[in-house]
């Protein structure tokens, strides 16, 4: 079955419950392959942390979702709409926070929000003004007169003030000082608390994600290598280290396996179910000193998924 048919089938079987559905997405820039068969499934109302190293393909994926870039292969759907065909409709229903792009330097904030009010039918002026007051934004100042953190807040308000059904936030905290970063995260939390919006929040800062996300997707080299909800990660995920083990993963654990890696003197296995019967039996069969089972931190989880190790390694990029 092709990817397009697969999506159609999924929508039919789930009753169109997925806000974002991506299957087999591939995007190349010349010889560089940015996305390599990416699959994403995002439920309505969720706040999904979209994490990955620099160059993993997060921004490219978001640009494809917004219809800025056509996919080379695969299919993309937001609320059942195809970005290639329905880009304007998607941009009406989606608020986008671009990482690098920003409004004209010379424009005043009030004029910028006037542009938003003239463009979007559902623009909420009172919400806009309230958020500006709350986060100390002077509407008479020009973009070039604002700090980086203030510009990020303005962009966030611009993305949110037309009451979008979905928010795509492309690294909103990157490059901000701790204080601005804290403000922006607090702003996102405030917005999420007051209104349930499907949010895809890309970052390579795991602390940011841990604070606000309900779901997590890890992208590595253009592929989604892990997806799951945060509660399940914290309560069920198991990182198993077996000293001296050089063989394959036992077949009893294979159904629970997310990823395995072989170290010089041990094997590491990431399992979905920490309390499974198979894991308990495996521990009984082996020396307890040789088998260590623990709940991975987000950092450990990310490092293991992206590099197969629990310590940071030198990055190629």
- Binding positions for another protein, rule: CB under 8 A: 29, 63, 66, 68-69, 88-89, 91-92, 96, 98, 100-108, 111, 114-116, 118-121
What tokens does 21 get?
């559905």
The least distance separating another protein from the CB of residue 271, rounded to whole angstroms, comes to: 40
The least distance separating another protein from the CB of residue 308, rounded to whole angstroms, comes to: 33
Is the Cβ of residue 115 or residue 210 nearer to another protein in the bound state? 115
The answer to whether the beta carbons of residues 240 and 269 sit under 8 Å apart is: yes
The least distance separating another protein from the CB of residue 198, rounded to whole angstroms, comes to: 17
- CA angle, residues 213, 301, 49, in degrees to nearest 5: 20
The least distance separating another protein from the CB of residue 110, rounded to whole angstroms, comes to: 10
* Cα distance between residue 309 and residue 317, in whole Å: 17
Instruction: Select from 188, 193, 225, 194 the least CA-distant residue to 209.
Output: 188
Is the Cβ of residue 79 or residue 245 nearer to another protein in the bound state? 79
The least distance separating another protein from the CB of residue 122, rounded to whole angstroms, comes to: 11
Query: How distant, in Å, are the alpha carbons of 23, 47, 75 from that of 7?
Result: 7, 22, 8
SS (H, E, C) 236-285: HCEEEEEECCCCCCCCCCHHHEEEEEECCCEEEEEECCCCCHHHHHHHHH
Is the Cβ of residue 100 or residue 289 nearer to another protein in the bound state? 100
Is the Cβ of residue 72 or residue 292 nearer to another protein in the bound state? 72
The answer to whether the beta carbons of residues 197 and 164 sit under 8 Å apart is: yes
Is the Cβ of residue 4 or residue 68 nearer to another protein in the bound state? 68
The least distance separating another protein from the CB of residue 70, rounded to whole angstroms, comes to: 9
The answer to whether the beta carbons of residues 193 and 226 sit under 8 Å apart is: no
Residue 313, Cβ neighbours under 10 Å: how many? 10
Is the Cβ of residue 154 or residue 224 nearer to another protein in the bound state? 154
The least distance separating another protein from the CB of residue 162, rounded to whole angstroms, comes to: 9
310: which DSSP letter? S
The least distance separating another protein from the CB of residue 72, rounded to whole angstroms, comes to: 11
Is the Cβ of residue 119 or residue 194 nearer to another protein in the bound state? 119
What tokens does 256 get?
């629970």
* Cα distance between residue 279 and residue 277, in whole Å: 5
43 burial via Cβ count (<10 Å: 0-12, 13-18, 19+): middle
* Cα distance between residue 66 and residue 50, in whole Å: 16
Is the Cβ of residue 62 or residue 237 nearer to another protein in the bound state? 62
């Amino acid at each position: 079955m092709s990817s397009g048919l697969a999506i159609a089938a999924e929508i039919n079987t789930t009753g169109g419950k997925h806000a974002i559905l991506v299957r087999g997405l591939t995007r190349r820039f010349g010889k560089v392959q940015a996305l390599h068969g990416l699959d994403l499934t995002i439920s309505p109302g969720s706040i999904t942390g979209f994490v990955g190293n620099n160059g993993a393909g997060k921004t490219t994926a978001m640009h494809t979702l917004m219809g800025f870039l056509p996919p080379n292969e695969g299919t993309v759907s937001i609320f059942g709409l195809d970005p290639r065909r329905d880009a304007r409709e998607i941009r009406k229903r989606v608020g986008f926070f671009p990482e690098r792009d920003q409004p004209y330097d010379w424009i005043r904030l009030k004029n910028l929000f006037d542009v938003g009010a003239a463009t979007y039918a559902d623009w909420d002026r009172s919400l806009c003004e309230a958020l500006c007051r709350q986060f100390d934004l002077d509407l008479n100042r020009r973009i070039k007169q604002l700090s980086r953190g203030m510009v990020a807040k303005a962009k966030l308000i611009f993305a949110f003030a037309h009451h979008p059904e979905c928010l795509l936030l492309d690294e909103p905290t990157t490059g901000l000082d701790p204080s601005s970063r804290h403000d922006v995260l607090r702003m996102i939390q405030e917005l999420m608390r007051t209104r349930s919006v499907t949010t895809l929040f890309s970052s390579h800062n795991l602390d940011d994600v841990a604070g606000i996300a309900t779901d997590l997707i890890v992208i590595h080299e253009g592929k989604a290598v892990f997806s799951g909800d945060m509660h399940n990660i914290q309560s069920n995920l198991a990182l198993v280290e077996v000293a001296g083990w050089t063989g394959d993963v036992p077949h009893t654990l294979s159904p629970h396996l997310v990823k395995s890696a072989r170290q010089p003197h041990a094997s590491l296995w990431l399992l979905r179910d920490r309390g499974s019967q198979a894991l308990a039996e495996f521990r009984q069969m082996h020396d307890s000193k040789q088998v260590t089972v623990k709940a991975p931190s987000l950092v450990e989880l990310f490092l293991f998924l992206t590099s197969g190790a629990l310590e940071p390694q030198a990055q190629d990029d």
